Amino acid sequence: MPGLNQPSVMPGESFTYKFEIRNSGSHMYHSHFNAAEQVTRGLLSAFVVHDPADPPVDQDVSMVLNDGPLGFTLNGKGFPATQPIVAQLGETLRIRYFNEGLQMHPMHLHGMAQEVVAVDGYPVPDPYTADTVQVAPGQRVDVLVRATEPGAWAFHCHILNHVEGADGMFGMVTAMIVEQ
């Protein structure tokens, strides 16, 4: 962290980080130099450490939630430019939420439940089912979704002004398409 354990990495400079992986799961890295501006502009990334002992899934999907100068975004894009998640009927997906924004984002999937299995890179002792999953700023939440319902399903932040306005839907909206 600049000023705490290393000097700032200035524009045009580089720094190689070396560290030991302490636990598997969903993590992220981002700037700690003017972070409220740099992170909301995209200086961030998901960092996933796979554990061979994790239960198998058909798809492992990362979804970075953000809010700031780029608007309300999923993986750096706002609706209608967001990429839908496409699954085959019967598949199990792990969706990894990474909230790199400055606000809470309760994520809601129409038609199918979300089973919360990990928070901040650690398995939860008692996984639970949720219709809407709260993801606080800086938090990571992993859910399992079983693609049980064919069709196109809305997938969005449940804070309405993050997803719609007078001109229709925008921002933190995508779809989950379950094909037969």
Asked if 68 contacts 175 with a C-beta cutoff of 8 angstroms, the reply is no
Of the chain, the percentage scoring pLDDT greater than 90 comes to 72
Among 16-25, 31-40, 42-51, 55-64, which stretch is predicted with the lowest mean pLDDT? 31-40
Q: Could you tell me which of 129, 128, 131, 127 has the C-alpha nearest to residue 153? A: 131
Does a structural domain hold residue 65?
Answer: yes
The number of domains in the chain is 1
pTM for the complete prediction? 0.91
The mean pLDDT of the chain is 93
Q: What is the mean pLDDT of residues 131-136?
A: 98
- The per-residue pLDDT for 45 is 87
- The per-residue pLDDT for 93 is 98
- The per-residue pLDDT for 1 is 67
CATH (domain of 100): 2.60.40.420
Measured CA to CA, the distance from residue 10 to residue 180 in angstroms comes to 51
Does a structural domain hold residue 19?
Answer: no
Does a structural domain hold residue 5?
Answer: no
- The per-residue pLDDT for 138 is 93
Does a structural domain hold residue 151?
Answer: yes
Q: Which domain holds residue 71?
A: 25-179
Number of C-beta neighbours around residue 53 at 10 A: 6
- The per-residue pLDDT for 76 is 93
Does a structural domain hold residue 12?
Answer: no
DSSP string, 112-164: S-EEEEEETTEEEEEEEEESEEEE-TT-EEEEEEE--S-EEEEEEESSGGGTE
Does a structural domain hold residue 71?
Answer: yes
With a CB cutoff of 8 Å and minimum separation 6, the contacts of 112 are 145, 146, 147, 148, 149, 153, 176, 178
